[in-house]
Amino acid sequence: MEAVRQRSEAESPAAAPAELTELTRQRRRSARIFVLPMLAVLAVVAGWPLLRTIFFSFTDANLGSLEGYKLIGLDNFQALAADGDWWNAVFNTVRFAITSVIIETVLGMIIALTLNAHIPGRGMLRAAVLIPWAIPTVVSAQMWNWMYNDLYGVLNHIFLGLGLIHQPLAWTANPHLALTAVVLVDVWKTTPFMTLLILAALQLVPLEIYEAARIDGISPLKVFWRVTLPLIRPALMVAIIFRTLDALRIFDLPFILTGNSKATASMAVYARQQLIDFQDVGYGSAASTFLFLVVAVFTVIYITAGRVRFGTGDR
């Protein structure tokens, strides 16, 4: 594709200006019309609900009667700031995001490096790695829930057999273990995504570099730290920020593994519980708005750090 584009740039005439301007104008007109339906739908399903959520966060709206609300200023946010359970959810989310992203990055790197080696059966290995990614989150959660079962779970059986533990663990019920249990499932589920992104970056590193390093007798570990890692760092950063964004929004896994349990409740779980279960739309919306702002900050970092390409490329 790259080659085609360069050729087209070189060969296309400097565009007869007079005729093309009318064409260009026509193209721009139709471009605006073409974007319009998509934008209209996005405004209805994203823009409007977001604005309403932010609006609700300044009211005492209740799910039972959404019309009968009154504005109460910043009361919800003040209550939120004083709410220990909310800060517990914030802390859970941050702990979850940091640990799961770190483990996923390290594990994804190891698997990507393995996949990048030219070994027989590489296709099969890549297929195996993709399986967790293809499994719906709810299903992964239930599969692990069964493996975590304190009485009949296979994990306890394996760990007891290996002598790693001396009595069965209640993975999801024990408040000290529950968050770890959630992290383990997330790591299993999303490491493939990390692996693929790292692998894509690894495959852009020219093979000659490894060849040269091997001839010079430099140890593989040194090559990794000094050559490979610096070369794939930009792509790695984008992947890490992308995953962090995802981790901050986590809902399905803690909700299914442990319900609304305080030990694992993330910001999204807590906000939804207030909104739907306790019907407190005003308060829940305030929590949602807070989460939105946190994610917005990370999105700005993502867009700047990722140097996202907005140009049309060859124009």
Partner 1 sequence: MGARRAIGRILFYLLVALIIVYTVFPFYWAIVSSLKEGSALYRVDLFPPHPAWGNYVGIFQQQNFARNILNSVIVAGAVVAVSLLLSVTASYALGRVEFRGRTALLLTILAVSMFPQVAVLSGMFELVSWLGIYDTIWSLILSYLILTLPFTTWVLTTFMRDLPKELEEAALVDGARPWTIITRVFLPLLWPALATTGLLAFITAWNEFMFAITFTLSNEKRTVPVAIALISGASHFELPWGRVMAASVIVTIPLVVLVLVFQRRIVSGLTAGAVKG
Which residues 13-52 are close enough to bind partner 1 by CB under 8 A? 23, 26-28, 30-32, 34-35, 37-39, 41-42, 44-46, 48-52
Q: By CB under 8 A, how many residues form the interface with partner 1?
A: 113
Minimum Å gap between C-beta 314 and partner 1 is 6
In angstroms, the CA 128 to CA 122 distance is 10
Yes or no: say if 269 and 89 are a contact pair by the CB < 8 Å rule.
yes
Kindly identify the residues of this chain, within the stretch 273-312, that bind partner 1 according to CB under 8 A.
275-276, 281, 284-285, 288-289, 291-292, 295-296, 298-299, 302-303, 306, 308-310, 312
Kindly identify the residues of this chain, within the stretch 227-256, that bind partner 1 according to CB under 8 A.
235, 238-239, 242, 245, 248-249, 251-252, 255-256
Residue 259 has a CB neighbour count (10 Å cut-off) of 12
Question: Which among 80, 85, 57, 54 has a CA at the least distance from the CA of 69?
Answer: 57
Residue 256 has a CB neighbour count (10 Å cut-off) of 19
Binding mask 112-151 for partner 1 (x = CB under 8 A): --x--x-x-x-x-xxxxxxxxxxxxxxxxxxxx-xx-x-x
- Residues with Cβ within 8 Å of 80's Cβ and at least 6 positions away in sequence, in order, are 86, 283, 286, 287, 290
Minimum Å gap between C-beta 2 and partner 1 is 9
Minimum Å gap between C-beta 21 and partner 1 is 13
> CB under 8 A: which stretch of 82-90, 95-103, 167-175, 193-201 binds partner 1?
193-201
- Residues with Cβ within 8 Å of 302's Cβ and at least 6 positions away in sequence, in order, are 238, 241, 242, 245
Minimum Å gap between C-beta 56 and partner 1 is 5
Q: Which is nearer to partner 1, 78 or 203 (CB)?
A: 203
Work out the burial of residue 250: count CB atoms within 10 Å of its CB; fewer than 13 is exposed, 13-18 middle, 19 or more buried.
Answer: buried
Task: Enter the DSSP assignment of 305.
Answer: H
Residue 132 has a CB neighbour count (10 Å cut-off) of 17
> CB under 8 A: which stretch of 8-16, 169-177, 205-213, 223-231 binds partner 1?
8-16
Minimum Å gap between C-beta 218 and partner 1 is 16
Q: Does the protein bind partner 1 through residue 162 (CB under 8 A)?
A: no
Kindly identify the residues of this chain, within the stretch 70-109, that bind partner 1 according to CB under 8 A.
none
Yes or no: say if 127 and 207 are a contact pair by the CB < 8 Å rule.
no
